[in-house]
Amino acid sequence: MTKKLEPGPWAVDETLTGPQTDAPGAIEPPKAASETTKATKETPKPGETNIEPLYDFEGLMTDFPTAKDLEKFVFDQTGIVLNLKGRSNKFKYQKAMDVLNGKEPEEYLLGNENPYLDKNDLIPIDDLKKLPARPAAVVGEQCVASFISKTFQHPDQEWAAQGQKCEVVFRKYINNVITYEIIGPISTRAVGTRVNKFGKEVPEKYVWVDPRTGEQVIRKENGSYTPVGTRLRAKMQAAKINKSDYWSVWIDREFVISDGTNAIDNPWGSQL
């Protein structure tokens, strides 16, 4: 009599798992035609997508009839400023739709101003003045001393009447030339008034209160002074420090040209 063997711990119950199709030589049963067709439709080809575009050409034209409206909408959705004014309708709506659907815009289409800003509401401001070039007498020369004074009254009469001071830099060069330069402060002043679209009075424009002079010579190489140089020297000589004055201590300072040796340890240099 043959004894029937009980299944071991590693035996597989085919009633639970079904036939093993992944074993070597196993044949996978064919899929139903409907499943094959469904898989083909759902799997996009390389470079294609089944996702519908977020925005539509006609929808943009209907909802945003002007370039300004279109620029505002693109800015709201993407934070990108486009320059679409004056371009053909087909071009500007196509480009807007491309950006809204995630495409990077060309550089020439990018703007730099918030589309919500209306230039008619902005208060104009004049350009800053262009400073003159440095004097030829100091170009390439070594500056041996410099001093900043904040005690001079502001050149602007209105600001001077209010007690405003300006900042002046004095520089002495190795060729004995001394210069001055007013470097600030710079601010704006409202000029005129007008009523804006909200019925409020606002300045007509702003102008710069700009005292900057650029670097100017006040003492030449031969030791002669310009008229403004004479006045500035007198002003700084009147300001006393210990037993001397500001001009002698801080501006027209004596200087020694070093030959690279240690003058403290050997004041005679290489000569013994």
- Tell me: the pLDDT tens digits for 122-141? 888 888 999 999 999 999 99
pTM of the model: 0.57
Is the pLDDT at 166 greater than 60? The verdict is yes
Residue-averaged pLDDT of the chain: 79
Highest mean pLDDT among 23-32, 118-127, 221-230: 221-230
pLDDT band at residue 265 under the 50/70/90 scheme? low
Domain ranges across the chain: 57-109, 143-251
Q: What percent of the chain has pLDDT over 70?
A: 74
pLDDT band at residue 100 under the 50/70/90 scheme? confident
Q: Sign of dihedral through CA atoms 228, 229, 234, 238?
A: positive
Is the pLDDT at 182 greater than 80? The verdict is yes
Query: For residue 145, what pLDDT is reported?
Result: 93
